[in-house]
């Protein structure tokens, strides 16, 4: 049986990088929505990292958009939830 070896430095760096990507997307979304004379509050609530980790969406009135990605290092999904 092969054990998963995790390097804490790399794991932390990946988490920080994912957070920065989320912040860049949130910033661009805010800029675009504001340019359309619409008010928006964009924030990153949670970053989930881990294999087969369930993601819970709290409010019933939220819509969710999923963006699946495949890279040479593996697959991941980015989900964005929003309310109108």
- Distance, in Å, from the CA atom of 25 to the CA atom of 8, rounded to the nearest integer, reads 26
> 53 in a domain, yes or no?
yes
> 58 in a domain, yes or no?
yes
**DSSP state, 50?**
S
Binning pLDDT at 50, 70 and 90, where does residue 1 land?
A: very low
* Those residues with Cβ within 8 angstroms of residue 51's Cβ, 6 or more apart along the chain or in another chain: none
* Contact between residue 78 and residue 69 where contact means Cβ atoms under 8 Å apart: yes
**Residues 8-59: pLDDT tens digits?**
666 778 778 888 888 888 888 888 888 988 877 777 777 777 777 777 766 6
pLDDT at 7: 62
> 2 in a domain, yes or no?
no
Range of the domain at 49: 8-82
pTM above 0.85, yes or no: no
> 71 in a domain, yes or no?
yes
How many structural domains are present in the chain? 1
> 17 in a domain, yes or no?
yes
pLDDT at 82: 76
> 1 in a domain, yes or no?
no
> 77 in a domain, yes or no?
yes
pLDDT at 3: 46
């Amino acid at each position: 049986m092969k054990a998963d070896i995790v390097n804490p430095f790399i794991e932390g760096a990946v988490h920080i990088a994912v957070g920065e990507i989320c912040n860049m997307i949130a910033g661009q979304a805010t800029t675009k929505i504001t340019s359309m004379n619409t008010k928006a509050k964009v924030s990153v609530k949670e970053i989930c990292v881990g294999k087969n980790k369930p993601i819970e969406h709290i409010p019933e009135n939220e819509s969710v958009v999923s963006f699946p990605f495949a890279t040479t290092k593996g697959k991941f999904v980015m989900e964005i939830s929003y309310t109108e």
